[in-house]
Amino acid sequence: MRMNRPRIVTVSHRHDLSLLSRLRYAVRVVEGTGFHPPNVFWPRALGITCQLCYKSAEEESGCPKTIHMTNGQRLRSRMQFTLVGVFCSLAVTGCLSPITLNRAVTAYDDAVTDATSKQLLINIARAHQHQPIHFTGVSNIAATFDFSISAGATPALTGEASKTLLPIFGGSVAENPTFSIVPIEGEEFTKRLLTPFQESKFILLLRQRYDIDMILRMMAQELRIKQNGQQISYLNSPADRQGYEMFRRVVTHISAIQDANQLHAEPLVYNRTWTIPANAVTAEGFQALQNEYFVTYSQKDNTYTLRKQITGRTLITNYDPDALSPEERARLIDDMEEGHLNDVYFDIRPGHVGGEYPLKGDFRLRSFNAILTFLGRSLGQDPEYHVESDPRTPTFYDNPDHTMELLLSDRAPSGVDLSIKLHGKHYAVNTTGPLAHWNREAFQLLYFLFQMTVSEVPRVGVPSITIAK
């Protein structure tokens, strides 16, 4: 007579959700017995004393003492226990993978940011020592992660070593990063390095709520003011004492208007009109004009009047530019159209905040290379100094002596966020003391200006260095 092979079923218990509880009740049992297999034992270190139902000493009363199982049942029990370990190892590895990835992304991001920051500081040091500046970028980071797991069982060191199995779980994580380092050089980058910043980038930074005096002191090469029909230039350079002090007073005055929330920086919008003879326009030409302009016809003069709304240059004012008359707006637009794209215009009028000191003129912006040179020279040849504001200037918040205060010493400074060493000298941004916040924001501004300079530079064809760990 052939004996019926016992059928294996899964029994689930609703106990606490701890890992130990899950492992206790994830084994399979023989249908009809109601008991766990006796030949797979839990270690006593887990607090389990009963070898039959895996209960603690407090729960052990009423446990059966014997049970008979076939060899097939014992093999299946061992296999089932090993599978539980595999599943647990897979679950742990599945949780570990995204955690490792997140930490790696953050670590690489911090490393790249720190490397770029140190490059900015070391190029300021090079400018101070009259050495060529040079930048290197990380174009690519390829990091691969290998996750491996293992699970099994081994005989326990008990009196019943042939019947008792202990689980073995293991896992490992390996990282293999590859970095591609590309020198940022060539004609295109050199042009962008030496080309003055345009007004649009200045306005973009101003709208990020940076102090206008910080932006102008870093980005502006000179101040130009119209006085008595003449245009006078004042250099933003401590070497030109008269020009530097005038520049600082005007910048501080405009900053005071910003501190009072009365500074406007808006593009001038106006309607431009043209009049052309009607017989000079064909039917096809008339259709094209209607797509670009608002067209009106004068039967009396047999002419077409073309009208189009145009957005002009941005004007910094202490009043609302929309309140200007069309004639005055047109006059200001004509004046600004004569300037360069790296000119920032301002118009401070009486009758408004800061109007006690009326001013009209423009700031001419400089290049990123000129900014690094300015900061480098401030450490030696042309140190910045304190300049008192004009008596007519309203109350303002900050007027630091330095655009960005840098430290130069023979020893490594303490308490600073960033420092480098070049030719035996230590350079650092002064992030200690009452002006630490100002200096941090100034360095952040410098970082953004650098990104604006290199963002569109192609790096194809430039020799690169690949480092594999």
In tens, the pLDDT along 346-358 reads 999 999 999 999 9
pLDDT of residue 44: 43
Place of tokens 């200045």: 202
pLDDT of residue 25: 42
Structure tokens at 302: 């047999």
Residue 376 zone, left/alpha/beta (φ > 0; ψ -120 to 50; rest): alpha
- Domain contains 233: yes
pLDDT of residue 39: 40
Name the phi and psi angles at 325, rounded to 5.
-75, 155
Residues of the chain with pLDDT under 50: 1-56, 64-71, 74-75, 161, 457, 460-462, 464-465
pLDDT of residue 373: 96
- Domain contains 469: no
417-435 b/e with 16+ CB inside 10 Å = b? ebbbebeeebbbbbbbeeb
Distance CA 175, CA 178 (A): 10
- Domain contains 61: no
- Domain contains 102: no
Give the per-residue SS3 of 43-95: CHHHCCCCCCCCCCHHHCCCCCCCCCCCHHHHHHHHHHHHHHHHHHHHHHHHH
Q: Which residue range is the domain that position 345 belongs to?
A: 212-365
Task: Give residue-wise pLDDT tens across range 411-428.
Answer: 999 999 999 999 999 999
| Alpha carbon 308 to chain centroid, angstroms | 40
Total structural domains in the chain?
1
- Domain contains 267: yes
- Domain contains 316: yes
pLDDT of residue 108: 75
Structure tokens at 97: 């993978």
Burial of 340 (0-12, 13-18, 19+ CB in 10 A): exposed
pLDDT of residue 17: 40
- Domain contains 124: no
* C-beta neighbour count of 255 within 10 angstroms: 26
Task: Give the chain's length.
Answer: 469
